[in-house]
A and B are shown apart, each in its own frame.
Chain A
Amino acid sequence: MASVANSARGGLRWNIALVAMAAVMVANMFFTFMFAPTEATSGHVQRIMYIHVPMAWLAFLAFFVVFCGSIMYLWKRTAKWDDLASSAAELGIIFTTLVLITGPIWAKPTWGVWWTWDARLTSTLVLWLIYVGYLMLRAYSANRSQGARFSAVLGIVGFIDVPIVYFAVDWWRTQHQRLVLGGLSLEGDLHPDMRLALLVSVIAFTLLFGFLLRQRVSLKRVERGVREMREDAEFMAEGQR
């Protein structure tokens, strides 16, 4: 219950951070729709990039958090690492889902098809399935400890798909566009103003991710607290009988 007292004390600072995040999100809208120049070959459709690419980045980041949290859980066996990993997995699934929704919307007008089974798209779908499997594994486990352990193993092994998704466009022939951010992108592929708009979007959505992750983890902590109180109460009641 210490977390409730903490959140009251840090309330003001937290609210300021929230307002700042909202401001960055609004600024991001400006960068996406006003600042970024219209793309020469595909036109306004290309603006989907400022949603699609950050969503993919956040999916990777979320699954990296799952990976680290899972290792820490298997090592330390403390519930907070399991909370972190499982919360990040839920967020990662949301962002991967958004990648899989915004992708086809962008693909249809530019490629001419909604979907194709190339290495990038297929490995992304596999990524989604791995982490949906992660949540199912937790849900179907005999008890919470077993679910936490099994899913931690999957959270570590499943992370192998993240570099596969990222490098797929470099390793194999794909339908998908090449990398536009990171070390493997080519100079001059992305207009400087588009690059700036994309970076702003990545920062804005990363802040949102941090906010959502914090909220989810603290909700899990409260859930755990309630569950333990109930278990204690039941145990006491049994003892009095």
Chain B
Amino acid sequence: MTREEVFERLNKVFQEVFDDETIKVNDSTTSEDIDDWDSFEHINLIVAVEEEFAIKIPMGKVVTMKNVGEMADIILQLGN
């Protein structure tokens, strides 16, 4: 899985969870950039990402994740 593929699939997850087809995420996207991305929706986002990539993100990493770029790194790390 390349980083580009991860971003492509991540983008779809973001669009579904926030019900907004115009969303485009990149390395530096954070919760500041998406209106509905509060701490509650963050939970759903993580669950949806875990399902999409068939992974389980450990607590330590959920806590430290700062932007979508780091999220992609974690997915690549866990997925391989």
Do A and B make up one complex?
no
Chain B positions within 8 Å of A, measured between CB atoms, are: none
Chain A positions within 8 Å of B, measured between CB atoms, are: none
